[in-house]
Amino acid sequence: MSAEQPVPYLPPVHRAFLRATAAAEKEMGFLVAQDVMFEEEYITTLLCSRLVPEVTYVKFSKKQESQVGGDYLWWWVDRGGEAFGCLVQAKVIHRKGRGWKIGFHHETRTGLQMDQLLASSDYFEVPAAYTFYVGDDAYRSTMKCSKRHQVVSCHQRQGAGVTILPALNAQRTVENAKLRATAPPSKLPFLGGFDPIEDVFHHAEPLSRLTAPGLANDDPAFIRYYRMRLGQGMNGLRELLTPGQIGARKVARFMTDKLAQQAAGAFETAVLPDVHVDQTEVGGRVFDTLPGARGHFGRSFFEHVLRGLRTGLPDYVEAALRNPADGVPAQLAEHVDGLVVVYL
Residue 44 lies in a domain: yes
The number of residues in the chain equals 344
User: Whole domain around residue 22: which residue ranges?
Assistant: 12-214+314-343
- Name the band, by pLDDT with cuts 50, 70 and 90, for residue 167: very high
CA–chain centroid gap for 193, Å, is: 25
Is residue 233 in some structural domain?
no
Confirm whether 3 is domain-assigned: no
Mean pLDDT of 313-333: 79
Stretch among 41-45, 77-81, 85-89, 156-160 having the lowest mean pLDDT: 156-160
Considering only residues 318 and 131, tell me which one the structure prediction assigns the higher pLDDT. Answer: 131
DSSP collapsed to 3 states, 29-76: HHHHHCCCCCCHHHHHHHHHHHHCCCEEEEECCCCCCCCCCCEEEEEE
194: in domain: yes
* Residue 225 to residue 230: CA distance in whole angstroms: 9
With beta carbons less than 8 A apart as the criterion, state whether 262 and 224 touch: no
In sequence order, the 6+-apart residues with CB closer than 8 A to the CB of 218 are 243
Give the number of domains in the chain. 1
**192 within some domain:** yes
pLDDT score of 177: 65
Identify the pLDDT of residue 182: 62
Residue 202 included in any domain:
yes
Q: Is residue 281 part of a domain?
A: no
Mean pLDDT of 235-257: 85
Residue 163: inside a domain: yes
- What does the pLDDT read at residue 97? 79
Average pLDDT, the chain: 80
Average pLDDT over residues 109-126: 82
What phi and psi values does residue 107 have, to the nearest 5 degrees?
Answer: -95, 145
pLDDT of residue 227: 77
